[in-house]
Each structure stands twice: as structure tokens, then as C-alpha cells.
Structure 1
């Protein structure tokens, strides 16, 4: 399955672990807005994005939704199962459609003693999600809407590799947890400065350096956390390849 070489967690699987789970894996198309995990509901599958992006979201009601983090090809949803909880702490919703490898949670948990790399990788990914959640909370309290949107767009590019996002202003505002009017004003300013190109339902980064300069210091923190995670994941893969 070529998707195993694209998702960073799956790419690091030792041959013996890959053979153990591959029969339970399914490569499937996922679509914008599809909810794959509900808050406080059992996690039936882990989803490893290939070229999709999955929003990990706190949803109190339809009027109060805010993104905690986003999962791209660096990770997976449902990783909290290895911490002892079989219920999702957040809602997971497809933010950018594409492909993801779906793996039954029961297969992972039943075989966990024989999956030492996957177990360690999922725990390390949980640490990254916690780090991003902390950054997101601090950013929402202390920084302006333009700074937060610039950080959000650049951080998503860093995590997913995508420069064009299929988002309306309303959708982006909801995901970033900012008022729609403030988001629209900030995006218009970004477009006037040549940082992004916006249509009704797409936002494209056109000046990566300029957008990074418009962001708050949280961007550098989030990117460093992701880079540290990737290095740790590579080290885990090398270690378990030898055992």
C-alpha cells in the first residue's frame, strides 16, 4: 500500500508490525465536513491521513466550535486510545478531503504488545497534540485576529504541505475561533498585501515569508514542536528497525 510511505507514522513501521496490521487497514476517500470521531463516543477506527487534513475540534454546541489542532500526514486521529481511553476527547472532522488509511482500533489494542513502534509513535503524537493545544489556547488569549489567522494558515501549510485550502471565510473563522467579520477584514488586508489570494471558497498562500512575518510568535513554537516530533518519530523508526 503506497499510502504507507506517505503517512509518517505508517512509513516508520518495521516490517513485522506492518505485516501484523496491513490486513486490517483500508485506504478510503474522506470528504470535507465528514465527522469521523464524535466527542465522548467510542473510537472505532484510527485514521492516518495521506493527503487529507483532519480537524481536531472542541464542540460545545453548533455555535461554539473551535479547532484544537489539525492532523495531516504526520499523524493520525484516535491516538489517545493508547493512553487508556477508548472514547474521543474531541470531535474529528475532515477539513481537507482526500485519502486516509483507516485501521480498526480493536486490532491495535489487541495487538499492542506486539506493536512497540506503533505504540511509542502514537504516544509521541499525543504529546505533539497537547503541545499544539497549549499554543492554541495561549494564542487565542493574547494575540490579534490577523496574527492568529496568519499563524493558523502557515501552521496548516507546515503540517499538511498544502498551500491552497478549500475554505470559505466563515469556515476559516469558525475553525480558528475568531469572529467572521474580523476574519474577513484580516483576509482582505492579507490579499491587499499580496500574502494570500482569496476566492469565495478557497484561500491560497502566495507569500509564505510575508505571512510568517504577519503571524505571532506562536507560529515558531508550533513549527518547532512539529519538527521535534518528526525527528523523534524518525529516531523511533530507526530504533525499532534494529530490534
Structure 2
């Protein structure tokens, strides 16, 4: 594996005890994830699960007319491909790369073998970890639907910026207003106005294709409760996710 990259950059992989990790490590394939790359289409058969490290992936629901909006994001905190172990091999959503970077792919068959592995009378650590993550992802999807229906474009933009920041090592985002509008399913003019308000307030600085968050606390003061609900549920379900290298594990994650 490339020494510049490590599976431990993904929180779920880093939380696996040594024995579980060593079973799948030889099969984890480092892949580049360029901005805009489509990892799977709606209704397509899933061949791999993806564990992002530096990339951020976006799940979109696409209507019959071709319109789409984001229903959830997946970064280094999670995995793309939950339908593999939730009873189906396809999904009605499209997965595209929102922020370019890297991640690791694992063949669907190998993920299922580890997910279904039984140790003694108990299910394996991988199963417990993935199911807890799935519950957190369902919360994110549900809250996104509520937010899109009931909250202002500015509040939605603040939520999206904060969730994206949580997955990045810096306060710099490479993203055009047009792409953000597509993510949120709103008109570009709405994003332009909302971003303008946030820039005037001194919370962000925007220049062609780049957003710098100057005052995160300011964004948190403008965001709706949806961001807090998603973050709190993720922290509650995955609060004991730890790095195997820092905390050697012999039992559950």
C-alpha cells in the first residue's frame, strides 16, 4: 500500500481490532476519486464498498426528469455501499465524488464475508460497527429531508458547510456555487444570495470555486438544528470508535 496513504485515515477501518483488520487489509485497494467521478448509478449492481480517506462522496436521489439533490454525504467517517449488507445489492441513489481525494475499495463478496463472520456465539466486530454507522447515516438522510423542506437556503448552506468541514483537515473547500446548488437542489441564485450574506457577516470568504471558512462559530450561530442532530447522533453511536494504532484492541471496537 502507498505509504502516503493509510486505511487508518478512514475511521471505521481504524476502529477494527487487529485480527479483523488483518483479514481484509490485503484486499483493500487504494483508488483515486477525482471530483465528479460517479462511483455507482441508481439501480446499478454494487461490486465494491468504498471507504473514503481524503475524498468526500455525495449520495444523490435522481428524479425521472433528471433533477437531483443530495440526500447524504460520506467522508472519512464512513463507508459507501450499505445496501450490500442491508439485504440488497442495488440502491436508488447515485454516488458521486463531491471532494476529490482517495479512498479504499473492498470487493462486495469480501465485505459480506467479514460482515457475516461469527465469533463464538456473537456476531463479529465489523457487523456491529457497520450497523451503528448505518443508523447514523439514516439519521443524516432523514434530517436532510426535513431541512430541505422546512429551513431556509442560508440554513441549509450552513449545515452543508459544517458537515463538509467536519470531514476535511482544513477550512478550505473547493466547490462552485453551481455545484452547491445542485447538491442542495435549489436555484443557484439562492446560493449566491445566501453565500453573500455569510461573506458580509465575515463567516466565509468566497472566490471562484473556493470557499474559506473564517468564522466557524458564526456558521454555527446561523445553522438550523439539523446539523446538531446529525452530529450528536453520529457521536452517540460511534463515540467509542478509536484508532487501533493508538489504542490496541483485543475485543470490541
Q: Do Structure 1 and Structure 2 share a fold, with TM-score over 0.5?
A: yes
Please list every run of 5 or more consecutive structure 1 residues that lacks an aligned counterpart in the other structure. none
Deviations for 1:151-204, whole angstroms, at most 9, x for unmatched residues?
111122124444222111110011012211111011111111111111121112
1:133 equivalenced with 2:135 (yes/no): no
CA distance in 2, matches of 1:89, 1:125: 19
Given that residues 166 and 201 in structure 1 are in contact (C-alpha distance below 8 angstroms), is that contact kept between their aligned partners in structure 2?
yes
Aligned residue for 1:32? Answer: 35
Shift of 1:62: 6.7
RMSD, aligned CA: 2.3
CA distance in 2, matches of 1:76, 1:139: 23
1:120 equivalenced with 2:128 (yes/no): yes
Aligned residue for 2:216? Answer: 208
CA distance in 1, matches of 2:20, 2:83: 19
Aligned residue for 1:188? Answer: 196
Inter-CA distance 50–164: structure 2 relative to 1 (3 Å threshold) = same
SS at match of 1:231: coil
Of stretches 211-220 and 157-166 in structure 1, the one that deviates more from structure 2 is: 157-166
1:73 equivalenced with 2:76 (yes/no): yes
SS at match of 1:241: coil
**TM-score, structure 2 as length reference:** 0.88
**TM-score, structure 1 as length reference:** 0.92
CA distance in 1, matches of 2:61, 2:169: 24
Inter-CA distance 192–4: structure 2 relative to 1 (3 Å threshold) = same
Shift of 1:63: 4.4
Matches of residues 1-243 of structure 1 in structure 2 within 5 Å? 3-61=6-64, 63-114=66-117, 116-234=124-242, 241-242=250-251
CA distance in 2, matches of 1:64, 1:118: 36
Please list every run of 5 or more consecutive structure 2 residues that lacks an aligned counterpart in the other structure. 119-123
Which runs of 4 or more aligned residues in structure 1 lie more than 3 Å from their structure 2 counterparts after TM superposition? 110-113, 159-162
SS at match of 1:203: strand
Shift of 1:82: 1.1
Given that residues 57 and 98 in structure 2 are in contact (C-alpha distance below 8 angstroms), is that contact kept between their aligned partners in structure 1?
yes
Given that residues 166 and 203 in structure 1 are in contact (C-alpha distance below 8 angstroms), is that contact kept between their aligned partners in structure 2?
yes
The structure with the greater share of residues assigned to helix is 1
Deviations for 1:127-154, whole angstroms, at most 9, x for unmatched residues?
1111011111111111111111111111
Inter-CA distance 165–62: structure 2 relative to 1 (3 Å threshold) = farther
